[in-house]
Structure 1
Amino acid sequence: MIETRNSIPRWVSLIYRYGQMYIGEHLKQFEIGRGQHIFLNALYREDGLTQEELADYLKIDKGTTAKALKKLEAQGYITRTVSEKDKRCNEIHLTEKAIEIKEDVRKVLTDWRERLTFGLSEEEKGLALVILEKMGHNAAHFAEEEVDV
């Protein structure tokens, strides 16, 4: 039997799933699904991105992006308008409703990060970030390499 208890991918997956559960539970009052907060958070950083820019920035396929944005639009959190720069693209803008909950959404994300790093020294937090960034770059590089084959 293969030992997976100490597998890096296993722990990354567990942390992701626990984070999704925590965030989903704490944003439930706003009827924001587990996969939707990342779109709001990206737009909180830069409102007015196109659907394609959001998908690329978040590394999420266009179909999943369109589906999540459709739900956020139906809930009144975003609007989609045809881009003045490129009529083929939709720009995504936050509504007043989304702006009103910005601090609540950000607090949930901050609280999760604090819980995740509880008990770690600043040095350990920095080291974890450096290692995860390197792993992220490796993942991106090899994923793109596989697509090119």
Structure 2
Amino acid sequence: MIDLNDNVGKYISFTWRNMISYMAKKMEPLHIGAGQYAYLFSLYFKDGQSQQALSDRLLVDKAATVRAIKKLETAGYVERRPDEQDKRSFRIFLTKKGKAIRPQLEAIVKEVQEILLEGMSPKEKAIIKRLLQQMASNIIRANRGSF
């Protein structure tokens, strides 16, 4: 029998919910929700991505991307422009305001990472990252195979 009080999924869920809650509080003055910062980081990596590329990169559905981009656009952090090759698509670009908050967002993410990994040795940090990557890969593969 599976012990529902002591299983991996419970700890991942608990960690995720609390991490997102903490980040949301830290990003509140910037008017950015915890579900939106990843889009900004993706654009910091490569500005001008299509909405579809953002969805694919972040492994989220198109509707979630549209909602996040609308919120970021309303806040003045990004702008949507028609794709020059495909007028039915949009590309997302950072505004000056979006670029300006990068150091603040990076500091918040760094702080959260430090909290999550507090008390762990460098070897333990490497092990947990590797194991979590493997777990993510396993569930993504299983999910794709179930459709």
Are positions 1:122 and 2:107 aligned together? no
**Deviation for aligned residue 1:2:** 5.4
User: Aligned equivalents of 2:2 and 2:126: distance in 1?
Assistant: 31
Task: Give the drift of 1:86.
Answer: 2.3
Q: Give the Cα separation in 1 of the matches to 2:67 and 2:117.
A: 32
CA, structure 1 residues 52+103, in 2 after alignment: closer, same or farther (shift >3 Å)?
Answer: same
Post-superposition CA distance 1:32-52 (Å, at most 9, x none):
112111111111111111000
* 2:80 maps to amino acid: R
Pairwise CA RMSD: 1.2
- Deviation of the 1:87 alpha carbon: 2.2
Q: Which runs of 5+ in 1 are unaligned?
A: none
| 2:136 aligned partner | 136
1:99 positional shift: 0.8
TM-score scaled to structure 2, two decimals? Answer: 0.95
Q: 2 CA distance for matches of 1:96 and 1:141?
A: 38
Q: Deviation per CA, 1:76-129: give whole Å up to 9, x if none.
A: 100000112322211000000011110000110011001100000000001101
**4+ residue stretches of structure 1 with deviation over 3 A?**
none
- Distance in 1 separating the partners of 2:5 and 2:114: 24
TM-score by length of 1: 0.94
